[in-house]
Amino acid sequence: EVCDERDFNVLRNPTDPLGQLAWVEELLRGAEKNNENIYITGHIPPALVGCYPDWAGRYNALIERFSGVVKGQFFAHTHTEDLHITRSFNNSAPTGYIMTTSSVTTNLERQPAFRLY
């Protein structure tokens, strides 16, 4: 979890622990070459405060570079419904979006929920 300060792998390599982003970039390049669409799913949204800045910057650069391929990003963890627009480093133009969804648990005294996409 690159957005969890307790993860030792991130401390050792905050830019790309365990080569995860290199792997994602390889998949995105292949999808671009084959004219495919990609939907990214994960646990902790990369826009969340607490993500390692080096990793989050590289992730966002990939999303910007492959904005024509990445059609959606879907995350959870926050136990709230949220929509975050990702923006270009150069001119703040929208490059995509991140949707976070509620949880089926009652954590933080919230009502359980789930979302179908």
Q: What is the pTM of this model?
A: 0.81
Give the H/E segment covering residue 12: helix 8-12
- 31: helix, strand or coil: helix
**Percent of the chain clearing pLDDT 90 (strictly above):** 34
- 63: helix, strand or coil: helix
Higher confidence at residue 23 or residue 110? Answer: 23
Distance between CA atoms of 89 and 27, rounded to whole angstroms?
22
State the average pLDDT for the chain. Answer: 84
Higher confidence at residue 82 or residue 12? Answer: 82
Distance between CA atoms of 28 and 89, rounded to whole angstroms?
19
- 17: helix, strand or coil: helix
